[in-house]
Chain A
Amino acid sequence: DAGITQSPRHKVTETGTPVTLRCHQTENHRYMYWYRQDPGHGLRLIHYSYGVKDTDKGEVSDGYSVSRSKTEDFLLTLESATSSQTSVYFCAISENGVNYGYTFGSGTRLTVV
């Protein structure tokens, strides 16, 4: 997706290890979001950011932390990965909050074994 890149695209990790996913944008948008998507579920918000160093929790934030030290980067960290965190993770960006919706990245498929 133009202007937003997620890395890595795929990752397999062991239970108990720390994992960091990166979202990078070139749009200079203020808002950035991390969602997870699981079979049979819609997208569920993990954390979001409304500016550099300004972040807040979403509905499924337990076990996750985020950091945003620069406008363009929003990092999602699993401090100690568990099998329940096996999921597809999507980053989204928005210039004006919810107005006109979000632009999503291509996702990171994380498997915790």
Chain B
Amino acid sequence: GESVGLHLPTLSVQEGDNSIINCAYSNSASDYFIWYKQESGKGPQFIIDIRSNMDKRQGQRVTVLLNKTVKHLSLQIAATQPGDSAVYFCAENREGYGNKLVFGAGTILRVKS
């Protein structure tokens, strides 16, 4: 697949453990955030989103936390599985940027069996 992972931070976890992937954003006026998952050779897939009027949102095995004070976003994956191995991106909608998302560089998640 495409070598999009060069120089990206890597998180290695044991199968069954919980994973926490972090993302810092720069614009305090950003009001909408999304986490995407990208498997090798595929396009990014939507995982979960959160708006700035929320601190936490839960999905199936995933939770997104938003700390606006320090401009930090995290994705928690419960009971990590081998199929969770991928590159994870956060994306934000910045004020004044219209209907466009700005993506972070990504984090590689490797799940060890």
The reply to whether chain A is a binding partner of chain B is yes
The verdict on A39 contacting B6 (CB below 8 Å), with A98-B32, A99-B32 known, is yes
Task: Write the A69-109 contact mask toward B (1 if CB under 8 angstroms, else 0).
Answer: 00000000000000000001010101001111111111101
Interface pairs (14), CB distance under 8 Å: A35-B103, A38-B4, A39-B4, A39-B6, A40-B6, A42-B106, A43-B103, A48-B99, A98-B93, A100-B46, A101-B36, A102-B101, A104-B45, A106-B43
Nearest first, the 9 A-B pairs at minimum CB distance are A97-B99, A104-B43, A42-B103, A39-B6, A40-B7, A43-B103, A101-B46, A98-B93, A42-B105
- Chain B contacts of A58 at CB under 8 A? 100
Q: Please, which residues of chain B bring their CB within 8 A of the CB of A94?
A: 99
One of A92, A97, A106 near B42 (C-beta < 8 A): A106
Interface residues of A (CB under 8 A from B): 1, 31, 33, 35, 37-45, 48, 50, 58, 88, 90, 92, 94, 97-107, 109
A59 to B103, CA, bound (A): 12
SS class, residues of chain B in contact with chain A: loop
User: A102: which B residues are within 8 A, CB to CB?
Assistant: 46, 101
A49 to chain B, nearest CB (A): 10
Given A43-B89, A90-B43, A106-B43, A101:B101 Cβ within 8 A: yes
Distance (whole angstroms) from the CB of A91 to the closest CB of chain B = 8
In the assembly, what is the distance between CA of A101 and CA of B51, in Å? 12
Q: Pick from A43, A105, A107 the residue with the most CB of B within 10 Å.
A: A43
Does any Cβ of A come within 8 Å of B8's Cβ? yes
Bound CA–CA A94/B100 (angstroms): 10
Q: Tell me how far the C-beta of A3 lies from the nearest C-beta in chain B, rounded to whole angstroms.
A: 12
Q: A88 to B2, Cβ gap below 8 A? A: yes
The answer for the CA separation of A92 and B106 in the assembled complex, in Å, is 18
Q: Find out whether the CB atom of B2 lies under 8 angstroms from the CB atom of A101.
A: no
The answer to whether B43 and A107 have CB atoms under 8 Å apart is: yes
